[in-house]
Chain A
Amino acid sequence: MERKLPATDVVVIGMGAAGGVAVLPLVEAGLRVTALEAGGWLTGRDFAPDKVRNNIRDWPQSVQKANGEVPTVRADESQTAIQGGGHPMMNAVGGTTMHYWAQSWRLSPWDFRVATETAQRYGASRIPADSTVEDWPLDYDELEPWYDTVERAIGVAGKAGNLDGRIDPAGNIFEGPRGREFPMPPLRPSPFTEMMSDAARSLGWHPFQAPASINSQPNDGRPGCLYHGFCNRGGCHVEAKNSTAVTTIPRALRTGRLDLVTHARVTRILSDTSGRVTGVRYIKGGETLFQPAAVVLLGSYTYENVRLLLLSRSSAFPEGLANNNGQVGRHYFSHHQGAPVSALFPHDLHNWYGLPAQGVAIDDWADDNFDHSDRNFIGGANLWVHTDRRPINAADMNTFGMAPRWGSQWKAFVMENADRSNTSYAQKTTLPYAHNYLDLDPTTTDALGDPVIRITGHYGNNEKRIAAFAQDRMEQWYRAAGAIRVVRSGLGHTMYASTHAFGGTRMGDDPRSNVVDRWGFTHEAPNLGILGASLMGTSGARNPTLTVQALAWRTAAHLVANWHPIAGPGV
């Protein structure tokens, strides 16, 4: 039996990074919004500085809905996909913004126009032949005001490197022009980040402290960051991390027009014979409910966005909602963030306290910031080194070929070197390819019997060549800083389930190759909008969350401005 609830204006599925910001402009415009969130409320008291709890026990993620629907993964169609160990994201009010690293980047202007810029500068033949990359239907300048809006609404700390064309080397000189300075100064440097910045400058590079949605000073009634560490998959005990759970969602609730339903497990989005969505079916406390709505915004996460569409079949959409062109699940890619480089220094680095967002970035080798004429790839990598050392990781450090992995010699090595190593983080331009996609797994299901998502994907030569190039540059940087040993990891191949999962409902003007239009509404079901990185057709070389949030706000604002055309005549 299904109980039908009174109709609402808008249902938002998922109250994380994307849905958590989209609700605010909707309720501020006077719309009635019902938000369905699979998780519950967490507070700072839930996030102890404890690696076992946050990273090994994986609490609270391990007990959640998402963990019952972990995607299966295979590199290509010759393999059988295997289910991974845990879901990269979490269910909660605030979603994964509760415990993410909180790096809050804007994409580079190049990322919006990869196809055109590459063809113009190097020739169209330089775009990998099997890539399905397209220009975005909007450019950086069009998204800039929305970036600015979100940076103010949630609170981002950073230093502008390009204020309306005025270049400031204290910030990122390669970034797109900003209308305004960041609302807060960057997080403080540390002895380690100062050492790495000096080394970068000695190479002629342009180091800067990258943006983070973490309070660098008291903000919005909450304190600044205390730099105690354990921020990696850990939330903030003083709410200095600007999760949507402590920023936009409470503001939206105070209007009285947001009905936030927690522990609501959405199972289907329903549609009528005309191809319009009519509302959302969900389960709460064992009861099945139907929430009718004039408009549905789907903002769960890339995997669940695609899964819900493919599961929501109807007479108008026999292959899944908004999938009559067969594009749902296509143009998928996991961000290439692997292939790290580790370095050993001859002195302590004083990294016991700090956080992943307290770091130094190099964009000299990212995007199209350097000449690729003689390179065998397009795009590049953002190089990132950061503080944050936890005791278990320190003890399990790389021994750099200088000691065995156990016994007295190992113990002596660790005692001397526990605070002397560092591992880099390089995010790389990652492209969509025709052979990489998401679909429903043919055999693995969740607790309700619905299939989980299957990832079929592997990195191309373009990504692997960037990875090798980035490792060369990273070693150069570490050596300039005085590293005595440097080791590299493998270049990667299979696209595993990721916290940076792009595509699957790509945004573009052509319905034959894209699921949503330039505003985030599906081409096929006009009152269904989608929020999240599943819209993004290129990754850039940086964390996607701020772009996801800027797009979500823009989609919500577009809905407000075009309420009657989108919501339809019945409203």
Chain B
Amino acid sequence: MSRRGRAGVTDPSRRSLLRGAGLLGAAVAGGSVAAPVAAQDPTDNAIPVREALENLTALEAETLEAATMRILPSDENGPGALEARAVHYMDRCLGSHLRDSNSAYATGLNALHEQALQRHGRAFAALTGTQQDALLAAMEAGELDGFAPDSATFFELIRDHTIEGTFSDPYYGGNRDFIGWDLLGYPGIRLGASPQEVARGRDLPPNHRSAFDNAVFTKSDNRGR
């Protein structure tokens, strides 16, 4: 299957797309980016590389981020859920439209952490990619204990939300730098599309606009309509 992915990259239209987004040569080794929070110097005053957490605990966010990086990895085909900040979307939206999932997240992420400790003696985020994949596959198959209602349901939940976080409008905190939309070849939010624009498909240059970059959805037009 990675052969299919590379074949996609040699497609001229895709190559130009990736170059346009500055992604060629930006391969990131999955798993090595997320430095466990505990390993960082707590007195470090440098600008933080992560957003402040609003709903998840630090350990939950770290575990979740590691899982999203295996679901939608950063690899030879470019950045993934990590760079798109899918976890930032999930953390923020657990305070709004995902709030009904708060207890499933708390239960599930702590269960995943405990499974990693029991099997490997290390936090989930500190495992190798192969070890993480094996745990996620067992989770997807419903084989892990400690989840509510079960591990398969929780896997589907975080898969859905990883997709939402990577491919939603950037307004909600994910899809940073339009990484998700560029990955799909989606040319972006437009308030109209001509037949000529439609006909260009993914060759239409991406406009990198949020829906809310359009004043019509954020400002009054002073006409009371």
Contact surface of A with B, Cβ cutoff 8 Å: 43-45, 48-53, 56-58, 62, 188, 190-191, 226-229, 237, 348-350, 352-354, 391-392, 394-396, 403-416, 418-419
Contact of A415 among B14, B163, B192, B212 (CB under 8 A): B14
A394 touches B5 (CB 8 A): no
Beta-carbon nearest neighbor of A387 in chain B? B198
Q: How far is the CB of B151 from chain A (nearest CB, A)?
A: 14
Q: Bound state CA distance, A228 and B186, in angstroms?
A: 13
Given contacts A57-B96, A391-B181, contact A408 B75 (CB under 8 A): yes
Interface centre among A56, A394, A406, A412 (most CB of B within 10 A): A406
Q: How far is the CB of B223 from chain A (nearest CB, A)?
A: 10
Q: How far is the CB of A48 from chain B (nearest CB, A)?
A: 4
The 8 closest A-B pairs by CB, nearest first: A412-B5, A226-B192, A409-B1, A353-B193, A350-B201, A57-B97, A418-B184, A48-B217
A415 touches B183 (CB 8 A): yes
A411 contacts which chain B residues (CB < 8 A)? Answer: 5, 72-73, 75, 77, 80, 183
Q: Bound state CA distance, A414 and B75, in angstroms?
A: 14
Given contacts A45-B217, A57-B97, A395-B163, contact A408 B2 (CB under 8 A): yes
B2 touches A395 (CB 8 A): no
A392 contacts which chain B residues (CB < 8 A)? Answer: 163-164, 167-168
A191 touches B73 (CB 8 A): no
Q: Bound state CA distance, A175 and B168, in angstroms?
A: 40
Q: Bound state CA distance, A405 and B152, in angstroms?
A: 13
A413 contacts which chain B residues (CB < 8 A)? Answer: 1, 4-5
- Is B216 in contact with chain A by the CB < 8 A criterion? yes
Interface centre among B140, B172, B195, B211 (most CB of A within 10 A): B211
Q: Bound state CA distance, A53 and B93, in angstroms?
A: 12
Q: Bound state CA distance, A5 and B7, in angstroms?
A: 73
Q: Bound state CA distance, A350 and B196, in angstroms?
A: 11
A408 contacts which chain B residues (CB < 8 A)? Answer: 1-2, 5, 30, 73, 75, 77
B163-182 near A? 1/0 per residue, CB < 8 Å:
11011110110000000110
A395 touches B180 (CB 8 A): yes
A396 touches B201 (CB 8 A): no
Q: A190-B195, A191-B199, A413-B4 are in contact. List 19 more A-B contacts (CB 8 A).
A: A43-B225, A45-B217, A49-B211, A50-B169, A52-B97, A53-B169, A190-B198, A237-B216, A350-B199, A395-B183, A404-B1, A406-B140, A407-B71, A408-B1, A408-B5, A411-B75, A411-B77, A413-B1, A413-B5
Contact surface of B with A, Cβ cutoff 8 Å: 1-2, 4-8, 14, 30, 70-73, 75, 77, 80, 96-97, 133, 136, 140, 159-160, 163-164, 166-169, 171-172, 180-181, 183-187, 189-193, 195, 197-202, 211-212, 214, 216-217, 220-221, 225
B77 touches A188 (CB 8 A): no
Interface centre among A48, A58, A190, A411 (most CB of B within 10 A): A411
A226 contacts which chain B residues (CB < 8 A)? Answer: 191-193
* CB < 8 Å A-B pair total: 161
B97 contacts which chain A residues (CB < 8 A)? Answer: 52, 56-58, 62
A350 contacts which chain B residues (CB < 8 A)? Answer: 198-201
B195 touches A188 (CB 8 A): yes
Beta-carbon nearest neighbor of A62 in chain B? B97
B73 contacts which chain A residues (CB < 8 A)? Answer: 407-408, 411
A412 touches B184 (CB 8 A): no
A419 touches B201 (CB 8 A): yes
B71 touches A353 (CB 8 A): no
A415 contacts which chain B residues (CB < 8 A)? Answer: 5, 8, 14, 77, 183-185
B5 touches A45 (CB 8 A): no
Beta-carbon nearest neighbor of B14 in chain A? A415
Q: Bound state CA distance, A237 and B164, in angstroms?
A: 23
Q: Bound state CA distance, A24 and B197, in angstroms?
A: 40
Given contacts A392-B167, A411-B75, A415-B77, contact A49 B1 (CB under 8 A): no
A52 contacts which chain B residues (CB < 8 A)? Answer: 97, 164, 168-169, 171-172
Q: How far is the CB of B142 from chain A (nearest CB, A)?
A: 14
A406 touches B72 (CB 8 A): yes
Given contacts A228-B192, A392-B168, A411-B72, contact A419 B77 (CB under 8 A): no
Q: Bound state CA distance, A58 and B169, in angstroms?
A: 15
Contact of B4 among A57, A353, A412 (CB under 8 A): A412
Q: Bound state CA distance, A404 and B141, in angstroms?
A: 13
A237 touches B217 (CB 8 A): yes
B201 contacts which chain A residues (CB < 8 A)? Answer: 348-350, 352, 419
B197 touches A353 (CB 8 A): yes
B5 touches A409 (CB 8 A): yes
Contact of A418 among B166, B185, B189 (CB under 8 A): B185
A48 touches B183 (CB 8 A): no
Q: Bound state CA distance, A396 and B214, in angstroms?
A: 27
Beta-carbon nearest neighbor of B166 in chain A? A395
Q: How far is the CB of A151 from chain B (nearest CB, A)?
A: 25
Q: Bound state CA distance, A45 and B222, in angstroms?
A: 12
B202 touches A348 (CB 8 A): yes
A391 touches B1 (CB 8 A): no
B183 contacts which chain A residues (CB < 8 A)? Answer: 395, 411, 414-415
Q: Bound state CA distance, A263 and B182, in angstroms?
A: 42
Interface centre among A191, A237, A412, A419 (most CB of B within 10 A): A412
A352 touches B186 (CB 8 A): yes
Q: How far is the CB of A91 from chain B (nearest CB, A)?
A: 19
Q: Bound state CA distance, A228 and B198, in angstroms?
A: 10
A50 touches B77 (CB 8 A): no
B163 touches A416 (CB 8 A): no
B14 contacts which chain A residues (CB < 8 A)? Answer: 415
Q: Bound state CA distance, A51 and B200, in angstroms?
A: 23
A–B complex contacts, Cβ < 8 Å, 19 sampled = A43-B225, A48-B212, A48-B214, A50-B169, A53-B211, A191-B199, A228-B189, A352-B198, A354-B193, A391-B180, A392-B163, A394-B184, A395-B166, A406-B140, A412-B1, A415-B14, A415-B185, A416-B7, A419-B202
Interface centre among A51, A62, A352 (most CB of B within 10 A): A352
A416 touches B4 (CB 8 A): yes
Q: Bound state CA distance, A43 and B221, in angstroms?
A: 11
Q: Bound state CA distance, A391 and B192, in angstroms?
A: 16
Q: Bound state CA distance, A239 and B16, in angstroms?
A: 37
